């Protein structure tokens, strides 16, 4: 599917769900043009695929942390298998289905469908484990669930981190869905106080979220806290987890503690049970509130995403590309000096060893301008061929190294390696004042889209409310005026008949026989006859 075809589908979707975001489609298309012009994007790529256009909630965490139980409780259906050990080793995408039961589809349905967040994920898996992308069904599955609460959103359930043997590919997919998600729920198990073995999990799930521009979308949930009621100091269990996560840099306000009341153990101390229940109810309500508002947050994230990409292109990608080109240029020039210098030294040394041969060659070259010119031309061609061969080899070598961490910079580096383009330009290919102006316009367009979204919910000055009230009053007055004109027109179209009294009596006498004939009972008798 081409980027143009994806945009057409997006426009159809947004026209029904959120027409305000239709304008932002053009902003992403403008971003794509900048990406194509600078070589950061291939022609079959689009920045619109870097973000989920459907509300997306991902559920991550360690095994036996209660992720599946939470999903089953939320949907009201037995969607996922539950247990104390790892029961599912796949990423499961869960969305609404109109059938009567839960249906499971293979991962191929996700990899090939641009509507879902794992479109083209097989290529990402191949980058970390070559050939694993062909086994996409061993990593992903799709489940359709007839649950009304899933309408308008997509859930992703991840396998337990401590149980998955394919760790590198799993972490790559995890990073991908954390980037795409509008809300990330990270579950930990209160029954297992944070041991050293879980340090890697904390490091990846917590520390990697701290520096994100959208870190507020990540909620850390300590599940099954009812088991802490058996401890001498229940609050210490929760406190130890909070400290462990805080050590990794968690911002305040994103930590919750809950349990599944239907699966919980009975707490003997009634006062303690009530305290745990109140805590659970408050935190669960806050979590579900964020889940219900995910559509609104997603709209803001899409609008801000364009601004973030535009700013990143100029402040992050351009310096990285300049540095990559500088490194590549230095390597090429060094290789030129070493190889051509070695050839020159060899020629001088050979001339000193064979003076008679050199003298004969010089005499032959000078004997005819054609001989000398042809020899010089061939030598120049060989020098240029060698130089451009070095350029290409070094560009490919550097691009291969960069593709692991910055694939877009790798593409742009190869894009700048064209035989007609010199190596000493001040700016990379496609960059300049025009590109900078385009990015400025994109940032402004993104901010305007955010303001339009805000206008749907907020009116700090009260002008919008006053304007709506004024428009409503004006519409009501216009309706009254229209009604008055209509009544006047009817009155004008039906003039009054002014007859003398004696003529009125005559008319009544003439009409009365007709009325008697057409009386309902007489008409009915006539019909029966």
Give the model's pLDDT for residue 315.
93
Give the model's pLDDT for residue 411.
93
Give the model's pLDDT for residue 312.
93
Scanning 318-368, the segments in alpha helix (DSSP H) are 318-353, 355-367
**What distance in Å separates the CA atoms of residue 3 and residue 24, rounded to the nearest whole number?**
15
Asked whether residue 284 falls in the same domain as residue 314, the answer is: no
Give the model's pLDDT for residue 201.
63
DSSP letter for 268, please.
Answer: S
Asked whether residue 449 falls in the same domain as residue 491, the answer is: no
Give the model's pLDDT for residue 129.
61
The pLDDT tens digits of the residues spanning 191-242 come to 765 544 455 666 666 666 666 667 788 888 888 887 776 666 667 777 777 7
The pLDDT tens digits of the residues spanning 484-512 come to 776 777 676 655 545 455 554 554 555 45
**What distance in Å separates the CA atoms of residue 507 and residue 442, rounded to the nearest whole number?**
81
Asked whether residue 148 falls in the same domain as residue 270, the answer is: yes
Asked whether residue 415 falls in the same domain as residue 517, the answer is: no
Give the model's pLDDT for residue 468.
61
Q: 176 lies in a domain? A: yes
Asked whether residue 529 falls in the same domain as residue 473, the answer is: no
pTM, full prediction: 0.66
Point out the domain boundary residue: 406, 438, 456. 456
Give the model's pLDDT for residue 15.
79
How many structural domains are present in the chain?
4
Asked whether residue 431 falls in the same domain as residue 470, the answer is: no
Asked whether residue 114 falls in the same domain as residue 258, the answer is: yes
Q: Which of 267, 417, 306 is nearest to 48 (CA)?
A: 306
**What distance in Å separates the CA atoms of residue 121 and residue 92, rounded to the nearest whole number?**
14
Asked whether residue 181 falls in the same domain as residue 79, the answer is: yes
Q: Specify whether the backbone of 18 is left (phi greater than 0), alpha (psi in -120 to 50) or beta.
A: beta
**What distance in Å separates the CA atoms of residue 493 and residue 509, rounded to the nearest whole number?**
27
Is 514's pLDDT higher than 70? no
- In order of 440, 445, 474, 477, 496, the CA distances from 485 in angstroms are 53, 46, 16, 12, 19
Q: 219 lies in a domain? A: yes
Residue 508 structural domain: 497-529
Element spanning 58, H or E: strand 56-61
Overall average pLDDT of the 37-55 stretch: 86
Q: What's the CATH code of the domain at 247?
A: 3.40.50.300
Is 435's pLDDT higher than 90? yes
Determine the Cα angle at 464 with ends 459 and 466, to 5°.
120
Overall average pLDDT of the 425-433 stretch: 89
CB atoms under 10 Å from CB of 171, counted, come to 16
Give the model's pLDDT for residue 226.
79
Q: 195 lies in a domain? A: yes
Point out the domain boundary residue: 243, 271, 292. 292
DSSP letter for 250, please.
Answer: P
Give Cβ neighbours of residue 12 (< 8 Å, ≥ 6 apart): none
3-state secondary structure 459-497: CCCCHHHHHHHHHHHHHHHHHHHHHHHHHHHHHHHCCCC
Asked whether residue 183 falls in the same domain as residue 275, the answer is: yes
Point out the domain boundary residue: 262, 292, 322. 292
Ranges 7-11, 308-312, 477-481: which has the least confidence: 477-481
In sequence order, the β-bridge partners of residue 186 are 60, 220
Ranges 59-63, 167-171, 397-401: which has the least confidence: 167-171
The pLDDT tens digits of the residues spanning 449-468 come to 888 888 877 666 666 566 66
Q: What percent of the chain has pLDDT over 70?
A: 75
The pLDDT tens digits of the residues spanning 385-416 come to 888 888 899 999 999 999 888 999 999 999 99
Asked whether residue 392 falls in the same domain as residue 485, the answer is: no
Q: 238 lies in a domain? A: yes
Give the model's pLDDT for residue 529.
42
Asked whether residue 246 falls in the same domain as residue 283, the answer is: yes
Q: 511 lies in a domain? A: yes
Q: 299 lies in a domain? A: no
Asked whether residue 364 falls in the same domain as residue 220, the answer is: no
Q: 298 lies in a domain? A: no
Give the model's pLDDT for residue 31.
94
- In order of 26, 153, 310, 311, 408, the CA distances from 445 in angstroms are 9, 26, 11, 13, 24
């Amino acid at each position: 599917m081409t980027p143009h075809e994806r945009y057409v589908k997006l426009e159809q979707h947004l026209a029904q769900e959120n027409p305000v975001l239709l304008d932002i489609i053009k902003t992403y298309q403008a971003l794509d043009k900048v990406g194509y012009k600078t070589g950061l994007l291939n022609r079959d790529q689009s920045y619109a695929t870097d973000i989920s256009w459907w509300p997306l909630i991902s559920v991550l965490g360690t095994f036996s942390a209660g992720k599946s139980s939470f999903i089953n409780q939320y949907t009201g259906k037995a969607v996922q298998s539950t247990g104390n050990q790892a029961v599912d080793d796949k990423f499961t995408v869960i969305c609404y289905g109109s059938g009567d039961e839960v249906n499971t589809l293979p991962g191929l349905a996700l990899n090939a469908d641009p509507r879902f967040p794992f479109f083209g994920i097989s290529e990402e898996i191949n980058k970390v484990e070559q050939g694993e992308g062909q086994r996409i069904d061993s990593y992903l599955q799709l489940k359709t669930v007839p649950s009304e609460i899933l309408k308008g959103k997509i859930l992703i359930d991840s396998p337990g981190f401590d149980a998955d043997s394919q760790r590198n590919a799993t972490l790559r997919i995890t990073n991908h869905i954390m980037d795409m998600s509008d809300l990330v729920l990270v579950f930990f198990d209160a029954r297992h106080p944070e041991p050293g073995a879980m340090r890697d999990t904390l490091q990846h799930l917590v520390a990697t979220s701290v520096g994100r521009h959208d870190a507020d979308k990540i909620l850390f949930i300590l599940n099954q806290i009812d088991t802490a009621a058996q401890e001498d100091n229940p609050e210490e269990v929760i406190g130890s987890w909070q400290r462990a996560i805080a050590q990794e840099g968690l911002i305040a306000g994103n930590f919750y503690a809950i349990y599944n009341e239907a699966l919980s153990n009975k707490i003997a101390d009634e006062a303690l049970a009530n305290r745990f229940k109140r805590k659970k109810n408050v935190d669960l309500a806050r979590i579900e509130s964020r889940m219900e508002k995910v559509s609104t947050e997603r709209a803001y994230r899409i609008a801000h995403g364009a601004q973030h990409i535009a700013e990143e292109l100029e402040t992050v990608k351009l310096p990285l590309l300049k540095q990559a080109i500088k490194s590549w240029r230095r390597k090429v020039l060094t290789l030129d000096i070493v190889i051509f210098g070695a050839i020159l030294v060899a020629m001088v040394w050979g001339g000193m060893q064979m003076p008679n041969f050199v003298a004969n060659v010089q005499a032959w070259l000078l004997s005819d301008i054609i001989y000398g010119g042809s020899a010089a031309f061939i030598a120049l061609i060989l020098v240029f061929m060698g130089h451009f061969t070095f350029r290409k080899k070094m560009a490919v070598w550097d691009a291969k190294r960069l593709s692991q961490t910055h694939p877009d910079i790798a593409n742009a580096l190869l894009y700048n390696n064209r035989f007609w383009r010199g190596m000493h330009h001040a700016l990379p290919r496609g960059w300049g004042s025009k590109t900078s102006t385009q990015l400025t316009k994109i940032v402004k367009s993104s901010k305007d889209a955010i303001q339009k979204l805000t206008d749907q919910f907020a009116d700090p000055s009260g002008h919008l409310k006053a304007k709506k009230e004024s428009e409503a009053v004006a519409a009501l007055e216009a309706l009254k005026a229209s009604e008055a004109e209509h009544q006047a027109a009817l009155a004008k179209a039906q003039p009054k008949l002014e007859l003398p009294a004696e003529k009125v009596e005559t008319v009544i006498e003439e009409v009365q026989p007709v009325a008697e004939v057409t009386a309902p009972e007489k008409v009915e008798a006539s019909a029966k006859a």
